[in-house]
Structure 1
């Protein structure tokens, strides 16, 4: 095993992951702006896009479930759901598991909207250069997934 294949000591890992944070913030903000530029086409803000995509991936969910899945407040998710419902992209259905917490599901119009948003994002993502390999992308996803998992369970305060 070479030095680049060995797990990093905690202090070095911390310094290297700071580099990731320094890139993730600007990347997220730039991507959110690109999504919202498409709002003129689809009408979906970055927050509504997140809700629509979560429902596309998971099927019907409650607002609290969506909040936990996205590490967002229930109130923010509720506002995004209300916006999406006002546009006819989601609907409320009874929740057999919990009478007071309805399920939210995509409508056909919502499915068409998130499909259009994702197609536009795919076109943008195809333009990423650098000759990235599958192994590099898998490694990036692994790192970010581990960071999310860790920070979801660690109290930093």
Structure 2
């Protein structure tokens, strides 16, 4: 019998805590996704549609830019973007910086649908945030931003091929 042993990276207290954070983040994401589905249904959206439309409420972006911003695959964003265009909630417009990568932006109907979520979103976030200290929320946001920076710095460079 072949005795192949692989060296295991030693555990650290920080690594164990980060593992717990990751597991809680999965649970938190699931809860937020469920809440988003409830909020979006009355305005004819889904949580995924809201996520993609939300990425372009400030400025139009190419699909690849939305995917990068949201840490989603370009293909999944493309599928949702095409569906939103088909439903009349968004449109593709020429991109002066790139001939083939059109910009994606909401239509008036898309703006209206997302705007219709504002009241439900504020009610939800106010209800949940009232149960957590404001300073704790601010600290959580800072830590999440630092973890995102660390993740980004840990990624291998993109290949040009």
The structure that is helix-richer by fraction is 1
User: Could you say which structure has the higher strand fraction?
Assistant: 2
Equivalent residue for 1:54? 55
Distance 2:107 2:57 in 1: 10
Q: How does 1:59-78 map to 2 (within 5 A)?
A: 59-78=59-78
Normalising to structure 1: TM-score of the pair? Answer: 0.83
Q: Which residue of 2 aligns with 1:15?
A: 16
Deviations 1:84-110 (A, max 9, x none): 112211111001111111001111111
Task: Flag as ranges the 4+ runs of structure 1 deviating above 6 A.
Answer: none
1:19-58 pair list within 5 angstroms: 19-57=20-58
Q: Does 1:145 align with 2:152?
A: no
Contact persistence 2:39–2:121 (CA under 8 A): no
Greater shift, 19-28 or 112-121, is seen at 112-121
Structure 1, gaps ≥5 residues long: 1-9
SS at match of 1:44: coil
Question: Which has the larger displacement, 84-93 or 121-130?
Answer: 121-130
**What's 1:108 paired with?**
108
Tell me the TM-score normalized by structure 2: 0.81
Q: Residue 101 of structure 1 aligns to a residue in which SS? A: strand
Tell me how large the CA RMSD over aligned residues is. Answer: 2.0
Write out aligned runs for 1:74-93 (5 A).
74-93=74-93
> 1:131, 1:105 → 2: CA distance?
35
The CA distance in 1 between the partners of 2:94 and 2:127, in whole Å, is 42
2-structure distance, mates of 1:131, 1:39: 24
2:105 is paired with a residue whose SS is strand
